[in-house]
Chains A and B, each alone.
Chain A
Amino acid sequence: MNVAKIKQDWFGNVRGDVLAGIVVALALIPEAIAFSIIAGVDPMVGLYASFCIAVVIAFVGGRPGMISAATGAMALLMVTLVADYGLQYLLAATILTGVLQILFGVFKLAAVMKFVPRSVMVGFVNALAILIFTSQLEHFEGESWVMYGLVALTLAIIYIFPRLTKVVPSTLVAIIVVTALAIYFGFDVRAVGDLGNLSSDLPVFLIPDIPLNFETLAIIFPYSLSLAIVGLLESLLTANIVDDMTDTESDKNKESRGQGIANIVSGFFGGMAGCAMIGQSVINVKSGGRGRLSALVAGVFLMFLIFVLGNIVVQIPMAALAGVMIMVSISTFDWSSVKNIHKVPRSDAAVMVITVGTVVVTHDLSIGVLAGVLLSAIFFAAKISKVKVTQIVAVEGKKKVYKVDGQIFFASVNDLVAKFDFNEAIEEVEIDLSLAHLWDDSAIGALDKIESKFEQNHVKVTYTGLNAESKQLKQKIGGLSKASGH
């Protein structure tokens, strides 16, 4: 990378980046706190993570203008790890997540993203939205009408305030107003301080306090793998969105490595794993952020605010945060997928619904993605496994031509064999494969089977129209199976 490019990435848009960074920092605080509470850790863990990740990614990320920090998708994956083993294991898992993501980046696995079909991605964001929403319901338990009123007020301000001005983020205005009301009237509602500690210390370098043995690895590895995959999935999706919004290109493998480095740093400085945030990145670009400086300013300003305003932050009522999280879930949910569900192919709709259903049941986004990808693969195989066989009588009572049209592979061979009539009294059969493609040893096996069944009835079989690839496969495997099997 040359100096001019570095200069452009950092200082090409100083004014826009600084302003947008400040806006993003203000919007990040409530989310970082709320996501910490979802994960079951002190708010500082999410705030440290947001600071570390935003700052580190500013230097090592592949997509300038994208905002990464503590996120809901990642927080939701950590819940059981934190509940069963505690914060130290989470920090270790965060570091391991980073290592895995760097490996993904080094081995250029960003391209694997193309194996995740769009209906699975839609299911992913919808499931994420639903989980963020349901995670807020516990805050309503045993609360009075005041809680409901404050949440409603928060949402009203968030959605109506932008009509007056868009300079100040409406979530911030909502939180200030609701916090001020709660303090002034002394409402008996839970505040952030009741759910965890908030300190005004800067994060410090610490090695997680865990036994360094195989048992620990066995505990954290499944979590780290889920975190690494989900984090990259959301980051690369976000990078694509920012690419589109800014009409520019980005380096996806560099971004994967960058996410990894950021998570390692976060883990060592007491933060939880994070990834790119769709909502915050859209806010950043909309507010004029384009360069690396925007993420740096967002991270540094966030830490500055916590440093200065820590005492006030603990007094934010949970009602205000719940309101913000409900807004986050509404904007995360892809409403167009519900509106158009009758228009998309039924198999796509099924994949989307199954992905969402799996996540809602298992509370694990990575299992949902896996289920969705598997189901799409099965649907795809089923779709292309339809083989058409037409019979043409060449010489009456003597020779018949079977024209095979389609993909011959493990999923289609059963259909294929059933379409031949082996008991016909003829002398010769020609199988025309010019419109077919042989893919695997099941295909060769099926042809062998057809051939031997015909041979039992003393019918001679010839093949025509094999394409080069299929011919090669047939020679390679066909020779083998003939030699050993017959």
Chain B
Amino acid sequence: MYQKILLAADGSDHSIRAASHAVKVAQIDQGKIDIVYAVDGKTSKEDVLHGLDKYEVKKERQEKLLPVIEVIEEAGLECETHVVHGEPGPAIVDFANRNEYDFVVVGSRGLNQVQTMILGSVSHKIAKRVHCPVLIVK
């Protein structure tokens, strides 16, 4: 049923929570999970400033996603990580649609109405624009 599953994650608590649900979806029919991490301009700037070296930056991002990867690997599943650049919402939508995933799982930051107005909701953007079923994990 769901073979190609995309997990949008940034290493935060809600993305670790989302990972455990992605595992459940993958276990329905031996699906494979890909992790996508969106890096926006501000994060790019901070990462490069603190890492300076390209490989250092790559390593640090991989480390950030480690808790998420662990959740998946502990369930006996393999996963591949991808880093995309740009505003998280559109970048993840574009990645999911371009690579024709069957199912997308994303954590919700649990913002209130005011925060959503100011910060914008990544999970809502994904749910609205991705062409496949989307699971928003609270």
Q: Which positions in A face B, CB cutoff 8 Å?
A: 114, 118, 121-122, 125, 163, 237, 240-241, 243-247, 278, 282, 285-286, 334, 336-337
Contact = CB atoms under 8 A, between A and B. Distances in A.
B52 A241 contact: no
The 7 lowest CB-CB distance pairs between A and B, nearest first, are A282-B41, A245-B44, A241-B48, A244-B44, A240-B48, A118-B52, A244-B48
Contact of B50 (A122, A163, A243, A247): A122
A243 B54 contact: yes
Interface string B19-53: 00000000000000000000101101111111111
B57 A122 contact: no
Contact of A237 (B48, B53, B87): B48
Nearest to A278: B45
Interface of B: 39, 41-42, 44-54, 57, 85-87, 117-118, 120
Contacts of B50: 118, 122, 336-337
A372 to B, nearest CB: 14
Contact of A122 (B41, B44, B49, B85): B49
Contact of A118 (B41, B51, B118): B51
Contacts of A237: 48-49
A337 B51 CA distance: 12
Contact of B85 (A121, A246, A336, A337): A246
A121 B49 contact: yes
Contacts of B47: 244
Contact of B45 (A118, A246, A282): A282
B85 A241 contact: no
A410 to B, nearest CB: 27
B85 A334 contact: no
Given A163-B120, A334-B46, 15 more contacts: A114-B52, A114-B53, A118-B49, A122-B50, A237-B48, A241-B48, A241-B49, A244-B44, A245-B41, A247-B85, A278-B45, A282-B44, A282-B45, A334-B49, A336-B46
A286 B42 CA distance: 10
Contacts of B42: 282
A247 B118 CA distance: 28
A247 B48 CA distance: 12
A247 B54 CA distance: 10
Nearest to A166: B87
B117 A163 contact: yes
A95 B107 CA distance: 54
Contacts of B57: 244
27 contacts: A114-B52, A118-B50, A118-B52, A121-B49, A122-B49, A163-B118, A163-B120, A237-B48, A240-B52, A240-B54, A241-B44, A244-B39, A244-B44, A244-B47, A244-B48, A245-B39, A245-B41, A245-B85, A246-B85, A282-B41, A282-B44, A285-B41, A286-B41, A286-B87, A334-B46, A336-B50, A337-B50
A225 to B, nearest CB: 23
B85 A125 contact: no
A44 to B, nearest CB: 31
Contacts of B48: 237, 240-241, 244
Contacts of B39: 244-245
A237 B120 CA distance: 29
Contacts of B86: 286
A240 B118 CA distance: 29
Contacts of B118: 163
A163 B116 CA distance: 10
Nearest to A286: B41
Contacts of A163: 117-118, 120
B49 A125 contact: yes
Nearest to A126: B49
Contacts of B85: 244-247
A263 B52 CA distance: 25
Which of A121, A244, A337: most chain B CB closer than 10 A? A244
B88 to A, nearest CB: 12
A241 B46 CA distance: 9
A30 to B, nearest CB: 20
Contacts of B41: 245, 282, 285-286
A336 B47 CA distance: 10
Contacts of B120: 163
Contacts of B45: 241, 278, 282
A52 B41 CA distance: 26
A125 B48 CA distance: 12
Contacts of A282: 41-42, 44-45
B79 to A, nearest CB: 21
Nearest to B85: A245
Contacts of A245: 39, 41, 44, 85
A282 B44 CA distance: 9
Contacts of B49: 118, 121-122, 125, 237, 241, 334
